[in-house]
């Protein structure tokens, strides 16, 4: 468990105004339910009067009771948000991978049409007018990928507009598309 990440997540949630908004709304409902509705359901004819009498007889307990009605949703909100974000941080990291990788990462369908791409890849493709996978991989490599014959570990493509060589890797997906990963081998 990484305490630095947890502290950062807690601090971020504490600074979020929405945390307090939810605590006030939910805390108000909790207090109305516990201080007014429950006594009324139990037969009290004047639950608001009973609440005021409770303040006069034992103000500390009455204030603590109302405070807990607001503190509970505040603490639960922070805990649930932090626990969820902490558990999902790996998923978020993987989801951001295509946008953070400087080399081309993209998904194409069986016909070679681009389905998804990272930001860097989209900029590269737009800059050079690439609309089909063969324009960067070539026909031979694309045919091997399309038929899922595999590519040799040393398979490279030369992308002349950028004067760059890339190694090629791919993974077929469950929906009949391919994730393609190019790694720069430097200029040629």
Average pLDDT, integer, range 79-86: 88
113 beta partners: 132
**What was the pLDDT predicted at 58?**
94
- The closest of 67, 82, 83 to 27, measured between CA atoms, is 67
Whether pLDDT at 90 is above 80:
no
Whether pLDDT at 92 is above 70:
no
What would the pLDDT profile of 7-34 be if each residue is shown by its tens digit?
A: 988 999 999 999 999 999 999 999 999 9
- The closest of 113, 111, 97 to 181, measured between CA atoms, is 97
Whether pLDDT at 89 is above 80:
no
pTM for this prediction: 0.52
In this structure, the strands spanning 105-109 and 164-172 are unpaired
What would the pLDDT profile of 139-179 be if each residue is shown by its tens digit?
A: 999 999 988 887 887 789 999 888 999 999 999 998 889 99
Whether pLDDT at 1 is above 70:
no
Q: Name every residue whose Cβ is closer than 8 Å to that of residue 155 and which is 6 or more positions away in sequence.
A: 141, 167, 168
**What was the pLDDT predicted at 98?**
64
Phi, psi (deg, nearest 5) at residue 69:
-60, -30
Buried b (16+ CB within 10 A) or exposed e, 36-47: eeebeeeeeeeb
- The closest of 70, 71, 85, 89 to 28, measured between CA atoms, is 70
Tallying the residues shown for the chain, one arrives at 188
**What was the pLDDT predicted at 28?**
97
Percentage of residues of the chain with pLDDT beyond 90:
64
Mean pLDDT of the chain: 89
The rounded distance, in Å, linking the Cα atoms of 104 and 162 is 12
- Of the listed ranges 15-24, 49-58, 89-98, the least confidently predicted one is 89-98
Whether pLDDT at 96 is above 80:
no
- Is the distance from CB of 119 to CB of 127 less than 8 angstroms? no
pLDDT band for 53, please (50, 70, 90 cuts).
Answer: very high
- The closest of 37, 36, 25 to 72, measured between CA atoms, is 25
Whether pLDDT at 97 is above 70:
no
Q: How far apart are the first and last CA of the chain?
A: 45
Unique residue bearing structure tokens 């006069």 = 56
Average pLDDT, integer, range 33-55: 93
- Is the distance from CB of 78 to CB of 8 less than 8 angstroms? no
């Amino acid at each position: 468990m990484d305490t630095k990440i947890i502290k950062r997540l807690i601090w971020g949630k504490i600074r979020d105004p929405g945390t307090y908004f939810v605590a006030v709304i939910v805390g108000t409902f909790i207090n109305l339910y516990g201080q007014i509705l429950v006594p009324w359901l139990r037969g009290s004819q004047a639950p608001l009067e009973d609440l005021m009498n409770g303040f006069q007889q034992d103000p500390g307990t009455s204030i603590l009771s109302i405070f807990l009605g607001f503190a509970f949703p505040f603490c639960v909100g922070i805990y649930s948000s932090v626990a969820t974000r902490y558990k999902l941080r790996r998923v978020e990291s993987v989801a951001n991978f295509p946008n953070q990788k400087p080399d081309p990462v993209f998904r194409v369908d069986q016909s070679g049409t681009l389905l998804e791409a990272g930001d860097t890849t989209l900029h590269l493709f737009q800059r050079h007018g690439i609309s089909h996978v063969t324009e960067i991989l070539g026909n031979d490599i694309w045919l091997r990928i399309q038929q899922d014959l595999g590519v040799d570990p040393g398979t490279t493509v030369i992308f002349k507009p950028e004067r760059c060589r890339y190694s090629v890797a791919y993974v077929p997906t469950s929906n009949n598309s391919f994730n393609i990963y190019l790694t720069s081998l430097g200029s040629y």
